[in-house]
Structure 1
């Protein structure tokens, strides 16, 4: 029954995030935010909402390993599987802003996490630094990047974002999506922990694999659909923005609620995330697009990581 409820929770999380992303994206389009900025902020925050709720609830329940494992595992899954599959479907053009600002911010956030978490703990002060960093980046992105990139990203109505008939419908979708995310996350955490115990898996392992992949389903659906529609700005922006959001805001909020201590998660997991993030930056710097062979490389690296985790059980 735990497996049945776990699958049910993933379905609820998917539709909850879908409602949140649809409503938030439509609302953002009404006020004139460009597609790339929507991908980096509204869409990435919306699709990362399952990670946010799951990690916060895990922190409140004293399950720090599940909280941190969920974030690290999701970030690795986002680049390895989601961006890998998206690039395999359609080569993704890389905008200058991603190379100059957003991917370096993602790398810096990941390195900052490695530094703070080297002792397997994140204090409230360190969590506050995460939140200040996130707020500063988001404010800069919304105020300055919108003006700078508006002409470049102006695709009119052909931006892959459906505009609803009225802003009240957007608000309704956002509210219903949040409700689904809260309920779905409750089911996910409760049944994932029970299942982990039955399988002899640690909280860290279940967070790094099953929960991380499960809570990343909204990102997977969003980026793959964006790639099919040849909307590279949404596909890449969603992944990069989600990874920034996961570390800075999710662990920031979770760490403020209760100082995080997760000795079961070692520096090797952090190094894998740093490595694949650095590889993404190198691929972007050398080419103007992420091609199919780069996508295959990301997927292969994730499979290697997953095999290493399974062999360590």
Structure 2
């Protein structure tokens, strides 16, 4: 019955949000107990942790053969992160970028977006593509980590230390981490079941569900984190959360999907959906560069534009079907 499908979807989303939050907190605290620097915790744990829902959902979807959800989730999450998550943050409070890490991640995100586009131009995600992307994820993380440690602390690490409770015990850290590791796949599996059943009932493709409903659900942890950061005036953490997550989504989420099960997809996906994500990424890059060079705040007007772009995309997805 349709009601059970919606209950599965909602239950999966709620558990996913809770699991992602506990996973990130547990992983960050555990890493600090093991002597990992705050800089690396920020780059690896926060970036990877906020993308954990997308990774697990896409991995499970790939195992089940739901390629539309696997690929749509990654690209849809990036669209949601920039247009909705960052849009909401900017409407709440105009933001500035001071961290060297975030300034460095902006062009990397653009390059990664173009790299993935190049690999997908044959309208197929192969296992080789997946290996290339996962390799790229480790290279990018290693490079950012090396440069970050070489240059020392900056605004991003200061905000990270203020945001996370690194004083919790090792036992509690491991408990939170273990809960997240177990709950994430369970929540993702439940959510994928609900989403695919709803898609079949309404005659909507799995790709559309992945790009919209599932992408929104897996981006809720980023939305919550960004709102919390904005309320605490932690601008670099709010923006870095979005940019870092998008890099991991493209390299890690799509990479894992390809390694698990290669698949073909419609050229329309590149023509419309991926292009829209690229458009948002380019817009964010040039707007950020302009405001950084001018030493100005990213304004509320930018946030309104991003939100309108998100609403337009969501409406278009369901009108065209």
1:16: which partner in 2? 19
Separation (CA, whole Å) in 1 of partners of 2:13 and 2:156: 33
Is 1:221 matched with 2:224?
yes
Query: What stretches of structure 1 of length at least 5 have no aligned partner?
Result: none
Hey, what's the Cα distance between the residues in 2 that align with 1:304 and 1:135?
Answer: 35
- In the TM superposition, what is the alpha-carbon distance from 1:107 to its structure 2 partner? 0.9
Equivalent of 2:89 in 86, 90, 94: 86
- The residue number in structure 1 matching 2:175 is 172
CA distance in 2 between counterparts of 1:309 and 1:198 reads 17
Counterparts of 1:71 and 1:154 in 2: how far apart (Å)? 27
Taking a change above 3 Å as real, the CA distance of residues 158 and 204 of structure 1, as seen in their structure-2 partners, is closer
Partner of 1:308: 316
- Displacement after TM superposition at 1:241 (Å): 0.8
CA contact (8 A) 2:288 2:298 kept: yes
Give the stretch that moved more between structures: 88-97 or 53-62: 88-97
- Whole-Å Cα distance in 1 between the matches of residues 159 and 237 of structure 2? 15
Which stretch has the larger CA shift, 243-252 or 258-267?
258-267
- Alignment partner, residue 67 of structure 2: 64
1:265 CA displacement: 2.7
1:177 positional shift: 1.0
1:245 aligns with 2:248: yes
CA deviations on 1:137-187 (whole Å, 9 max, x unpaired) are 101122221331415556389622112431221121111012111110010
Q: Which residue of 2 aligns with 1:283?
A: 287
CA apart distance, 1:222: 1.0
Bigger shift: 280-289 or 5-14?
280-289
Separation in 2 of the partners of 1:281 and 1:152? Answer: 20
Match of 1:296?
A: 304
Match of 1:265 in 2: 269
Shift of residue 87 of structure 1? 1.5
Contact 1:81-1:302 at 8 Å conserved across structures: yes
Q: Is the 8 A contact 1:34 1:153 kept in 2?
A: no
Q: Spell out, residue by residue over 1:248-301, the C-alpha distance to the aligned partner (whole angstroms, 9 max, x if none).
A: 011112111111322263421111000101111111111133221111111111
Aligned partners of 1:62 and 1:88: how far apart in 2? Answer: 39
Q: Number of residues paired by the alignment?
A: 312
Query: For 1:207 and 1:225, how far apart are their aligned partners in 2?
Result: 26
